[in-house]
Amino acid sequence: MKQLDLSGQSILLTGAAGFIGANLALRLLKDESLKDMHIIGLDNVNDYYDPAIKEYRLKQIAAAAEGSSSEWTFVKGSIADEELIKKLFAENDFRVVVNLAAQAGVRYSIVNPDAYMEANVMGFYRILEACRHSYDGGREGVAHLVYASSSSIYGESTKIPYRVEDPVEHPVSLYAATKKSDELLAHAYSKLYEIPSTALRFFTVYGPAGRPDMAYFSFTKKLLAGEKIGIFNYGKCRRDFTYVEDVTDGVLRVMKGAPERKTGEDGLPLAPYAVYNIGNSEPVELMDFIRILSEELIAEGLLPSDFDLAAHEELLPMQPGDVPVTFADTSALERDYGFKPSVPLRDGLHAFVQWYKEFYRL
């Protein structure tokens, strides 16, 4: 792979008000080894979930930028806005593009498919086209496009752990289908225009200031309200929960190492294209996850010490579009980038509960 020095470079970060995007922005701005970058953050700050959390994240980024040698600029808008994307690329010589903007959520894709086609397919196409034309006029252009894929594309595969070499032609949700479409589009553009691109298949990312539509967030809200929590697949689901700071560490390492442009035996360019899993490689049964979460809520004084968790559990069948297990094989990421997630689940949930208590003033 080709090593990139991010210092002094212009970087486009889409989905900058999102969970992973905001944490990546903070990581870039606080890293003292990275100097004089200009980070353009783009996000439409939609109301898919509480915009107050997105505004909170943006305030954190702005505060971090004040003490950083790098410059932070936030732009409110959609990656599906062709004129806006063209304008941003015309005004900035982006060397690295990190596309984390997407309409997330498996279940929501069943009730609002249009949002997924616009953001995840058309929006990503706009980014690819802009990267393609970034080389026009003799400019160096984009040296690396890093973009979010998802563990959801593995569908109902029973072969675990999930390896990037496994076939993923049978998604079980529209969300997963759009993410697989992104990988196919990126490969075509990498092949045709030699755009170095890397897909990152994220596995159940959690942590402070996370997405309220994620299960651990809704579990917390319901437990504190004394309500029952619905546990799908009768509690037999297993998830490869990955702490957000582990994820952003992995993304940063990948940003610095782009697939190399090479020529094949036929004299034609090979696609400078790669796919990696980012997961904890330690799937946890949902019932164990809920137990640890409740213990941390008790430890923070948000639940009584004699809290009866069993009385608040409602076991339900599997939901459409969901899968029973996610389990990442991250050996390729460890081999190529020397990276493996390290934050234990209890530590990550402890940090989340502390944040939740402070943010909601409990």
Tens digit of each residue's pLDDT (9 = 90 or more) over 220-270:
999 999 999 988 877 788 889 999 999 999 999 999 999 999 888 888 888
Instruction: Please give the C-alpha separations between residue 121 and each of 103, 223, 350, in angstroms, as whole numbers.
Output: 10, 37, 36
Radius of gyration in angstroms for the set of CA atoms belonging to the chain, rounded to a whole number? 20
What does the pLDDT average to over 304-318? 89
Task: Supply the pLDDT for residue 150.
Answer: 93
Question: Residue 109 — pLDDT band, cuts 50, 70, 90?
Answer: confident
For residues 346 and 315, which has the higher predicted lDDT (pLDDT)?
A: 346
Give the span between the Cα atoms of 90 and 121, in whole angstroms.
22
Cα within 13 Å of Cα(53), Cβ side: 23
Give the span between the Cα atoms of 166 and 38, in whole angstroms.
37
Give the span between the Cα atoms of 66 and 342, in whole angstroms.
30
Task: Supply the pLDDT for residue 321.
Answer: 61
What does the pLDDT average to over 16-21? 98
Give the span between the Cα atoms of 163 and 254, in whole angstroms.
18
**pLDDT at 316 > cutoff 90:** no
Give the span between the Cα atoms of 122 and 343, in whole angstroms.
35
Task: Supply the pLDDT for residue 322.
Answer: 67
**pLDDT at 107 > cutoff 90:** no
Question: Residue 95 — pLDDT band, cuts 50, 70, 90?
Answer: very high
Are the CB atoms for 80 and 118 separated by under 8 Å? yes
Question: pLDDT above 90 covers what percent of the chain?
Answer: 78
DSSP state for residue 200 in the 8-state scheme: E
CATH code at 2-203+243-279+326-342: 3.40.50.720
Lowest mean pLDDT segment, chosen from 84-98, 123-137, 303-317: 303-317
> Token pair 């982006």 is at which residue?
94
Maximal C-alpha separation, the chain: 70
Mean pLDDT of the chain: 93
What does the pLDDT average to over 274-297? 94
Measured in degrees and rounded to the nearest 5, phi and psi for residue 269 equal -65, 140
Alpha helix (H) residue ranges in the chain = 19-30, 51-66, 82-91, 108-111, 113-116, 123-133, 174-193, 215-224, 244-255, 286-299, 331-337, 345-359
**pLDDT at 160 > cutoff 90:** no
DSSP state for residue 306 in the 8-state scheme: T
Look at residues 200, 162, 118, 206 and name the one whose alpha carbon lies nearest to residue 323: 162
Strands, E assignment, 157-270: 197-202, 205-206, 229-231, 238-239, 242-243, 257-258, 262-263, 269-270
> Token pair 């990037």 is at which residue?
164
Pairing of strands 94-99, 10-14: parallel
What does the pLDDT average to over 74-94? 97
Active-site residue (options: 175, 216, 243, 276) = 175
> Is the Cα dihedral 285, 291, 297, 302 positive or negative?
positive
Range with the largest mean pLDDT of 93-102, 310-319, 320-329: 93-102
Task: Supply the pLDDT for residue 300.
Answer: 96
Lowest mean pLDDT segment, chosen from 14-23, 93-102, 279-288: 279-288
Amino acid at 351: A
What stretch of H or E contains 10? strand 10-14
Q: Is 360 a catalytic residue?
A: no
0.75 exceeded by pTM: yes
**pLDDT at 135 > cutoff 70:** yes
How many CB atoms within 10 Å of residue 30? 13
> Token pair 């980070």 is at which residue?
39
DSSP state for residue 325 in the 8-state scheme: B
